[in-house]
C-alpha cells in the first residue's frame, strides 16, 4: 500500500523517472474510458511477437573512456552538486523541484534500457497488446527501494486517483489497474543486479525483449545497443487496412510500405551498436533483410569500382562517395507523371519553351555514382573554394546539348527582360584539355564568384571556382595525381565484397579548425561546475592543449556494404570524444558562415514579426482579416501566359 507519511527530502532525489511515467498515465485518463468487454486481437499473423523496439545503454563512465576525456568525465560528475546549489543563489528557482532534476541526471548517468512490444494475442494485462518496460540499473537493492519509497510518497502528495497494491508477480513492486492497462512499478532483482523499473500493459517477462539486442563482435565493447523490428506490428497494420478499405489512396500507401519493407511479416529489421575497441570508436548500423527490397529503393547493390574511387584525390581533407540506384528515381518520376496531371503539363511547357525535356535529356543521363569533397588539389584543403561535386554520366553528349540549350535560353531571357543587367550576367562555355567547361560570369562587375561546371566523357563536375573544377575534372578523367584509396586509409576496413559508400574526414587536419569551439564548450562546462558557494571545487582545464589532444588522431571513416542479404554501415572514429568533436566541427567550418547567417536571418524575421504585432491592435488584425476575405472572393485579373 502507499505510504501516507510525508516524503523525506533525501528520498525525493530518487523520484524523477517513475513520476514522469505515472504523470503520463494519469494524463491519459482523459482520453480513455473503461471497457468491460475483453479486447479481440486484430486480424493477421501474430506468430512474430518479438519486441518492436529495444535499446540498452551503459552508464556515463562507459562513454568517456579515453584519458584525454578524463577531466570532462570528472567535471560532468560535479553538475548535480552544482544544480542543487542554484536555488540558494537564485530564489526564483525554488519553484523548480531540484531534487527531481538531480535524480533525473543521476538516472542518466546509470545504465538504462527500454523495450516496446506488441502482441494482440496477449490481453491479460491490458494495454491493447502493447508492452512497455523502462528500467534503470541501480547501485544496490537499497537504492532501488529508496526510489520506490520516494515515488509512493510523491504519489500521495499528487493525490493519484488509483490504489496501488503489491504486485503478485514481482515481489517488492507495486501495481495499479488503470482503465487501459496494468501499470507496475518498483524495484526488481534482475539477472544483472538491482533495477528500478516501470512496466505497462502486456509484460509478463521484463527481460525477454532484451535477448533480441544485437550481439557485439569480438573485442568490441558496446555502450549503446538498439533494435527495431516492424514485423510485430503487422496485425495492427492489417487492422488499419481493413478500416481504410474504402479509400484507394490508403490502400496504395499500405501496399507501398509493405513493398518497401517497412511493414509485413518480412519487414526489415534495424540494429544499431555504438562503442569502442582498444584502438578506436565504432558505430555499426545493420538493416537485416534489406536486399529483397533493394530494387525499389535508392541503395545500390553493386560496389564502387576502382575507377570510381579514383575521382577523389589523395590529398582530400573531407570526402564522400556513394553508389545509388537511378532506376528508382526514374520510377518515382514516372509515377508522378501518371498521377499528377500538372507535372505532365509543366514538362510539356518546359520542353516547348526551352527545347529540353528535363527528364529524358537531363535526369536520364545521370549515372549511379556521386561524390563530394574538399582537397588541396581543388583549392587549398579545408576551404569552401575547394568544394566540388562529381556525378557519373550515362550520356554526356545528350546532357551537354541540353545544358547548352538552357544556357542560351537563360542568356536570351536576361538580355530581353532585364535591361539593367544586360551584358553583366551570362553563361560562357569554353574548353580545357578536352573538358567542356561552363561558367556563370559577371562581365564588368567585381563579383568574386565564377560558379563552374564541366562535362567529360563520364563525369559531371560542379564547383565554386573554375580552378577547382578543372582540377577535379582532370582527376576524374585519370589525368590527375594519386587517389585517396592509394594512401591505404581504407585498408582492412572494406570487405572483399566491396563498399557501396565511403566517407572520410582527415581528423588530424580538420580538428585545428574545430578546436576553438571545443575549448569554448569545455570552458562552459568547467565554469558551470565551479561555484561561488564552494570556491574549492575546481574542475580544472577540461580540454587538453591542442598538441596533446591531436596525438594519435585517426581519420573518421564511414562505409556501407552488403553482408549477404543485410546492409551494413560502419563508422570508425577516435576513442576520445573531444578529438572526434574537434574533427567534426572543423569539417563543418567552411559551412558555418551560411549556417549562422541562416539562423541570424530567421531570428531577424521573427523579431520583425513580433515588433509588427506589438505595433498593431486587435482591431487592426480584424481589418486585415476582412481585407483578406475580400481579396479571396475577388476573381483575379486574367494575365497573358508567361514564357520561361
Q: Is residue 536 part of a domain?
A: no
> Does residue 638 carry a pLDDT above 70?
no
pLDDT at 431: 92
User: Span 291-319, mean pLDDT?
Assistant: 90
H or E stretch including 614?
Answer: helix 592-615
> C-alpha grid cell for residue 513?
579548425
Give residue 35's pLDDT band: very low, low, confident or very high (50, 70, 90): very low
- CA 504 and chain centroid, separation: 19
3-state helix, strand, coil in the chain (%, to 5): 45, 25, 35
**Statement to judge: residues 325 and 261 lie in one domain:** no
Task: Evaluate whether 439 touches 364 at the Cβ level (below 8 Å).
Answer: no
Q: Is residue 408 part of a domain?
A: yes
> Does residue 37 carry a pLDDT above 60?
no
User: Span 216-228, mean pLDDT?
Assistant: 94
As a whole-number percent, the residues of the chain with pLDDT over 90 amount to 48
Q: Is residue 435 part of a domain?
A: yes
H or E stretch including 570?
Answer: strand 566-573
Q: Is residue 315 part of a domain?
A: yes
pLDDT at 13: 39
418 CB-contact burial (10 Å; exposed 0-12 / middle 13-18 / buried 19+): exposed
Query: Which residues on neighbouring strands pair with residue 63, listed in sequence order?
Result: none
Task: Evaluate whether 310 touches 482 at the Cβ level (below 8 Å).
Answer: no
Task: Evaluate whether 210 touches 198 at the Cβ level (below 8 Å).
Answer: no
**Statement to judge: residues 241 and 207 lie in one domain:** no
| Residue bearing the bigger pLDDT, 163 or 112 | 112
Helix, coil or strand: residue 82 = helix
Q: How far is CA 340 from CA 152, 332, 333, 356, 588, in A?
A: 59, 12, 10, 20, 39
> Does residue 169 carry a pLDDT above 70?
yes
Task: Evaluate whether 565 touches 292 at the Cβ level (below 8 Å).
Answer: yes
> Does residue 36 carry a pLDDT above 50?
no
User: Span 571-597, mean pLDDT?
Assistant: 91
**Statement to judge: residues 228 and 253 lie in one domain:** no
| Residue bearing the bigger pLDDT, 69 or 27 | 69
**Statement to judge: residues 163 and 43 lie in one domain:** yes
**CA–CA distance, 360 with 337 (Å, rounded to integer):** 13
Q: What is the DSSP secondary-structure string of 299-349? A: B-SSPPPHHHHTTSBTTEEEEEEEEB-HHHHHHHHHHHHHH-HHHHHHHHH
Q: Is residue 2 part of a domain?
A: no
465 CB-contact burial (10 Å; exposed 0-12 / middle 13-18 / buried 19+): buried
Phi-psi label, residue 207: left if phi above 0, alpha if psi -120 to 50, beta otherwise: alpha
Q: How far is CA 377 from CA 382, 387, 462, 470, 585, in A?
A: 11, 10, 15, 10, 22
pLDDT at 622: 62
Q: Is residue 386 part of a domain?
A: yes
Per this entry, what is the length of the chain?
Answer: 644
* Radius of gyration of the chain from its Cα atoms, rounded to whole angstroms: 31
Last residue of a domain, one of 265, 288, 306: 265
Closest CA to 498 of 560, 565, 567: 560
pLDDT at 600: 81
Give residue 19's pLDDT band: very low, low, confident or very high (50, 70, 90): very low
- CA 117 and chain centroid, separation: 23
User: Span 206-234, mean pLDDT?
Assistant: 92
Q: Which residues contact 593 (CB under 8 A, 6 or more apart)?
A: none
Q: How far is CA 181 from CA 19, 48, 135, 305, 402, in A?
A: 18, 22, 19, 56, 63
pLDDT at 102: 67
Helix, coil or strand: residue 584 = helix
pLDDT at 14: 40
**Statement to judge: residues 385 and 396 lie in one domain:** yes
> C-alpha grid cell for residue 247?
479509400
Lowest mean pLDDT among 35-49, 167-181, 470-484: 35-49
Q: Is residue 620 part of a domain?
A: no
Q: Where are the beta strands (DSSP E) in 130-238?
A: 130-137, 165-166, 174-178, 181-190, 193-201, 221-229
**CA–CA distance, 80 with 90 (Å, rounded to integer):** 16
**Statement to judge: residues 292 and 242 lie in one domain:** no
As a whole-number percent, the residues of the chain with pLDDT over 70 amount to 85
pLDDT at 25: 36
**CA–CA distance, 446 with 469 (Å, rounded to integer):** 21
**Statement to judge: residues 240 and 316 lie in one domain:** no
> What's the domain range around 464?
279-506+555-573
Q: How far is CA 623 from CA 503, 612, 613, in A?
A: 56, 15, 14
pLDDT at 629: 59
pLDDT at 92: 83
User: Span 66-85, mean pLDDT?
Assistant: 92
- Mean residue pLDDT of the chain comes to 84
User: Span 399-420, mean pLDDT?
Assistant: 87
The domain total for the chain is 3
Last residue of a domain, one of 528, 543, 573: 573
**CA–CA distance, 187 with 194 (Å, rounded to integer):** 7
pLDDT at 2: 42
| Residue bearing the bigger pLDDT, 255 or 356 | 356
pLDDT at 43: 41
**Statement to judge: residues 291 and 434 lie in one domain:** yes
| Residue bearing the bigger pLDDT, 43 or 231 | 231
Give residue 387's pLDDT band: very low, low, confident or very high (50, 70, 90): very high
Q: Which residues contact 508 (CB under 8 A, 6 or more apart)?
A: 550, 553, 554, 555, 583
**Statement to judge: residues 59 and 155 lie in one domain:** yes
The pLDDT tens digits of the residues spanning 341-376 come to 898 999 999 999 999 999 999 999 999 999 999 999
Query: Which residues on neighbouring strands pair with residue 452, listed in sequence order?
Result: 439, 463
| Residue bearing the bigger pLDDT, 614 or 578 | 578
**CA–CA distance, 44 with 400 (Å, rounded to integer):** 54
**Statement to judge: residues 297 and 321 lie in one domain:** yes
**Statement to judge: residues 227 and 367 lie in one domain:** no
pLDDT at 618: 60
Q: Is residue 70 part of a domain?
A: yes
**Statement to judge: residues 166 and 252 lie in one domain:** no
The pLDDT tens digits of the residues spanning 89-142 come to 888 887 776 666 766 676 778 899 999 998 887 777 777 888 999 999 988 888
pLDDT at 643: 45
The pLDDT tens digits of the residues spanning 504-541 come to 999 999 999 999 999 999 999 999 999 999 999 999 99
User: Span 142-156, mean pLDDT?
Assistant: 78
> C-alpha grid cell for residue 316?
582530400
Half-sphere exposure of 557 (CA within 13 A, CB side): 17
Task: Evaluate whether 427 touches 443 at the Cβ level (below 8 Å).
Answer: no
Q: Which residues contact 133 (CB under 8 A, 6 or more apart)?
A: 113, 114, 115, 197, 198, 199, 203, 206, 209
> Does residue 390 carry a pLDDT above 60?
yes
Task: Evaluate whether 153 touches 11 at the Cβ level (below 8 Å).
Answer: yes
pLDDT at 210: 94
Task: Evaluate whether 453 touches 463 at the Cβ level (below 8 Å).
Answer: yes
Amino acid at each position: 500500500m502507499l505510504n501516507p507519511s510525508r516524503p523525506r527530502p533525501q528520498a525525493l532525489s530518487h523520484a524523477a523517472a517513475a513520476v514522469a511515467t505515472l504523470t503520463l498515465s494519469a494524463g491519459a485518463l482523459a482520453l480513455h474510458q473503461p471497457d468491460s468487454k475483453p479486447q479481440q486481437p486484430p486480424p493477421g499473423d501474430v506468430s512474430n511477437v518479438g519486441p518492436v523496439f529495444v535499446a540498452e545503454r551503459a552508464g556515463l563512465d562507459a562513454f568517456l573512456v579515453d584519458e584525454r576525456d578524463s577531466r570532462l568525465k570528472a567535471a560532468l560528475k560535479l553538475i548535480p552538486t552544482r544544480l542543487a546549489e542554484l536555488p540558494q543563489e537564485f530564489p526564483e528557482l525554488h519553484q523548480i523541484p531540484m531534487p527531481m532534476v538531480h535524480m533525473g541526471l543521476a538516472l542518466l548517468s546509470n545504465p538504462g534500457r527500454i523495450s516496446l512490444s506488441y502482441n494482440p494475442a496477449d490481453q491479460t494485462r491490458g494495454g491493447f497488446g502493447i508492452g512497455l518496460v523502462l528500467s534503470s540499473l541501480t547501485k544496490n537493492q537499497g537504492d532501488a527501494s529508496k526510489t520506490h519509497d520516494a515515488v509512493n510518497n510523491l504519489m500521495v502528495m499528487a493525490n493519484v486517483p488509483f490504489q496501488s497494491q503489491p504486485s503478485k508477480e514481482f515481489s517488492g513492486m507495486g501495481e495499479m489497474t488503470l482503465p487501459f492497462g496494468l501499470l507496475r512499478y518498483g524495484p526488481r532483482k534482475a539477472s544483472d543486479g538491482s533495477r528500478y523499473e516501470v512496466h505497462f500493459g502486456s509484460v509478463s517477462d521484463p527481460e525477454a525483449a532484451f535477448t533480441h539486442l544485437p550481439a557485439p563482435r569480438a573485442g568490441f565493447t558496446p555502450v549503446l545497443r538498439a533494435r527495431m523490428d516492424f514485423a510485430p506490428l503487422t496485425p495492427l497494420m492489417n487492422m488499419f487496412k481493413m478500416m481504410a478499405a474504402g479509400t484507394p489512396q490508403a490502400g496504395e500507401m499500405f501496399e507501398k510500405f509493405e513493398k518497401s519493407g517497412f511493414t509485413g511479416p518480412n519487414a526489415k529489421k534495424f540494429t544499431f551498436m555504438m562503442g569502442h575497441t582498444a584502438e578506436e570508436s565504432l558505430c555499426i548500423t545493420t538493416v537485416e533483410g534489406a536486399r529483397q527490397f533493394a530494387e525499389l529503393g535508392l541503395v545500390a547493390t553493386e560496389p564502387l569500382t576502382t575507377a570510381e574511387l579514383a575521382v577523389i584525390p589523395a590529398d582530400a581533407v573531407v570526402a564522400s562517395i556513394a553508389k545509388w540506384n537511378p532506376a528508382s528515381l526514374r520510377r518515382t518520376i514516372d509515377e508522378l507523371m501518371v498521377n499528377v496531371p500538372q507535372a505532365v503539363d509543366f514538362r510539356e511547357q518546359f520542353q516547348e519553351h526551352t527545347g529540353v525535356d528535363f527528364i529524358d535529356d537531363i535526369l536520364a543521363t545521370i549515372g549511379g555514382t556521386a561524390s563530394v569533397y574538399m582537397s588541396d588539389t581543388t583549392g587549398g584543403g579545408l576551404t569552401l573554394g575547394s568544394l566540388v561535386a562529381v556525378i557519373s554520366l550515362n550520356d554526356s553528349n545528350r546532357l551537354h546539348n541540353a545544358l547548352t540549350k538552357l544556357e542560351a535560353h537563360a542568356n536570351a531571357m536576361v538580355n530581353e527582360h532585364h535591361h539593367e543587367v544586360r551584358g553583366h550576367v551570362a553563361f560562357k562555355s569554353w574548353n580545357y584539355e578536352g573538358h567542356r567547361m561552363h561558367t556563370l560570369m559577371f562581365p564588368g562587375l567585381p563579383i568574386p564568384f565564377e560558379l563552374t561546371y564541366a562535362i567529360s566523357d563520364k563525369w559531371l563536375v560542379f564547383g565554386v571556382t573554375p580552378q577547382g573544377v578543372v582540377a577535379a575534372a582532370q582527376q576524374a578523367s585519370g589525368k590527375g595525381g594519386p587517389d585517396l584509396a592509394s594512401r591505404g586509409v581504407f585498408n582492412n576496413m572494406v570487405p572483399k565484397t566491396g563498399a557501396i559508400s565511403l566517407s572520410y574526414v582527415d581528423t588530424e587536419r580538420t580538428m585545428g579548425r574545430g578546436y576553438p569551439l571545443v575549448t569554448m564548450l569545455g570552458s562552459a562546462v568547467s565554469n558551470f561546475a565551479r561555484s561561488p558557494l564552494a570556491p574549492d571545487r575546481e574542475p580544472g582545464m577540461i580540454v587538453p592543449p591542442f598538441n596533446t589532444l591531436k596525438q594519435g588522431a585517426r581519420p573518421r571513416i564511414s562505409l556501407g556494404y552488403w553482408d549477404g542479404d543485410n546492409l551494413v554501415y560502419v563508422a570508425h572514429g577516435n576513442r576520445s570524444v573531444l578529438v572526434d568533436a574537434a574533427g567534426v566541427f572543423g569539417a563543418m567550418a567552411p559551412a558555418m558562415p551560411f549556417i549562422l547567417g541562416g539562423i541570424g536571418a530567421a531570428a531577424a524575421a521573427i523579431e520583425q514579426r513580433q515588433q509588427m504585432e506589438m505595433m498593431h491592435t486587435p482591431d487592426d488584425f480584424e481589418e486585415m482579416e476582412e481585407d483578406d476575405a475580400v481579396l479571396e472572393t475577388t476573381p483575379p485579373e486574367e494575365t497573358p501566359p508567361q514564357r520561361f
